Amino acid sequence: MTQAIALITGASRGLGAALAEALAPTHHIVAVARTTGALEELDDRIRAAGGEATLAPMDITTDAAMQQLCRSIHDRWGGLALWLHTAVQPSPLSPIAHAALKEVERTSAVNHLATARLITYVAPLLGRTGRAVFFDDPRGGEAFHGAYGSSKAAQIALARSWAAETVRTGPQVRILEPRPMATALRAKFHPGEDRSALAQPADEAARLLPRILDPQD
């Protein structure tokens, strides 16, 4: 295989799926998500457009599964050119004083702790020349977003530290901020919102792709 390999965690829907389709003409996509059916639909679209994907239906919070995935990537392809981390766990909007602890823990497990483990496993696959991209959603400190906002802020803090640590050694680490999009995640936070003014994930993927791929960005 001569195509570069791109790992996308959270690839089944929204921005992750849109980025997978946008990258498929130039990259072999390793698509990770919990929902098998949505991954299969993504695979159909990629193959219809002439691309190829490897589907990995698994939960990023399952440590053994992530270790096995990264070992399989190493054994099959030797490494990665790109890792796009779009996986995210929402939580019900709630005053933090009334937030259910299980929701806080679940959100932290996906958005923060799983990211920390994945960085450890994916970094060797990216080596000096690969690139990791994270997507910020700055809601830390917003009313009723305590669980989600704090976990997402923690994720981005990890990414910023990793970026600072690898300036000289690689891999490149980038943090991009997508525009508000008409996704299922946003619908959970803003039910009844007029979605006509929101960006579509495919359009946002097209806007962000040059920044993801530009080596000088």
Domain ranges of the chain: 4-208
Report residue 143 CA to chain centroid gap.
25
Q: What is the pLDDT along the chain (217 residues), one digit of tens a residue?
A: 578 999 999 999 999 999 999 999 999 999 999 999 999 999 999 999 999 999 999 999 999 999 999 999 999 999 999 999 999 998 888 899 998 899 999 999 999 999 999 999 999 999 999 999 999 988 877 888 889 999 999 999 999 999 999 999 999 999 999 998 888 878 877 777 788 889 999 999 999 999 999 987 7
Report the alpha-carbon distance of residue 160 to residue 17 in Å, rounded: 24
SS3 state at 173: strand
Domain at 4-208, CATH class:
alpha beta
Residues 195, 5: contact at Cβ < 8 Å? no
Does this model's pTM top 0.85? My answer is yes
Residues 164, 177: contact at Cβ < 8 Å? no
Residues 76, 5: contact at Cβ < 8 Å? no
